[in-house]
Amino acid sequence: MSHAALPRRLSLADLRRQVQAGQRLAMLAVYDATTAGLAERAGVDALLVGDSLAQTVQGHPTTLPASLKAMVYHTRCVVRGSTRALVLADLPFGSFEASPAAAFAAAARLLEAGAQMVKIEGGAPWVVETVAFLTARHVPVCAHLGLTPQAIHELGGYRVQGRGAGAATRLADQARALAAAGAAMLVLECVPRALAARITAEVDILTIGIGAGPDTHGQVLVAWDLLGLTPPPRPRFVRDFLAQAGSAEAAVRAYVEAVRAGTFPTAVESYGEGADPAAG
C-alpha cells in the first residue's frame, strides 16, 4: 500500500482549523476497538484513552492503579478500531513524576502504540518543566488542570477546583505556563464556567471542558457516562444520551451534535461560584 492510500487521521492542525472556523470539538474517552469505531462513525473528532479505565474497565475506586502497560494495551486497541479521529492517551500515575526523562520514556511507549499526543495532569512548576522537555522532543502534549484525579488523595475528594479569586488566578497562571511550555491542548475538569471561559480567552491553545461549562473549544465525556452505564450518583456534567437515542451510535451522534450546537453542557450541567462543592 502506498503512503497516499493510507487513511489520514485528524491532526492538531486540523482541530485548530475546525475551531478557527467556529466548530466546537467533540472528544470521547474510550478504551477498546469497538467503541472507538462506533465513536468515529458518529463523528467524534478525538479519542482519549483515559486512565479512567482503572475505574470503568478494571473496577478500581480511583484512576491511580492504571499502569503504563495497561495504557499501552488499550491505546493499541483504540488505534486498531479507528482510522480518522486523533488519538491521545493519558500518562498514568507513576509514569512521569520521577523525572522528565521518565516521562519521555513513558510517552514514547504510548506514541509507539499509536497515540498522537499524551495527556499529563497538573500545573506545578515541575509539570511545566516536564511539558517543555516533552514538547522539545517532538511529543505533543495535552495538559490537564482543575480536578486532576491522580491527585485525588491530596484534593480530598472529587471537588470543583478554582473557586475564589486566589484559586482561579493560580489555575489561570498554570494554564499560561503550560501553554508557554508548549502544551497544544488543555483539558479543564470541574472548574467554574467563568474560569474556563477566562482561560480559553487567555491561552492560545485548544481547551476541552469536562464539567467546565460550554465556553471551551470542545467537550470530552467518558463513553460509559454518555451511554448511561455508570451507576449513580453521576456528576452533574454527565448526560445520558442513550436514554432518548435508541442505539449507542445514535447516542454518540447526539452528543457530537449537542457539542457542535453549543447545547451541551447547559448551565445546569456546569458549575458556578456557588456552594455545590462536590463534583458529583
Name the grid cell of 27: 472528544
Q: How confident is the model at residue 277 (pLDDT cuts 50, 70, 90)?
A: very low
Work out the angle at residue 60's Cα, subtended by the Cα atoms of residues 98 and 102, and round it to the nearest 5 degrees. 15
Q: How confident is the model at residue 273 (pLDDT cuts 50, 70, 90)?
A: confident
**CATH fourth-level superfamily of 9-261:** Phosphoenolpyruvate-binding domains (3.20.20.60)
Residue 83: which of 28, 29, 183, 9 has the closest Cα?
A: 9
Residue 208 has pLDDT above 70, yes or no: yes
Residue 158: which of 81, 112, 211, 215 has the closest Cα?
A: 211
- Which sequence spans correspond to the domains of the chain? 9-261
Helix boundaries (H) for the chain? 12-20, 33-41, 53-56, 68-80, 100-112, 125-135, 152-155, 165-180, 193-202, 223-226, 242-245, 248-261
Q: How confident is the model at residue 234 (pLDDT cuts 50, 70, 90)?
A: confident
Residue-wise pLDDT for 64-83, tens only, equals 999 999 999 999 999 999 99
pLDDT > 90: percent of the chain = 91
Task: Please report the pLDDT score of residue 278 as a whole number.
Answer: 53
pTM, to two decimals:
0.95
Give the bridge partners for 26, in sequence order: 219
Active site residues: 189
Residue 268 has pLDDT above 60, yes or no: yes
**Rounded mean pLDDT of 59-65?**
96
**Rounded mean pLDDT of 167-179?**
98
24, 265 Cβ separation under 8 angstroms: no
Rounded Cα distance, 2 and 41, in Å: 24
Name the grid cell of 214: 460550554
Residue-wise pLDDT for 120-166, tens only, equals 999 999 999 999 999 999 999 999 999 999 999 999 989 999 999 99
Residue 187: which of 134, 240, 119 has the closest Cα?
A: 119
Residue 199 has pLDDT above 50, yes or no: yes
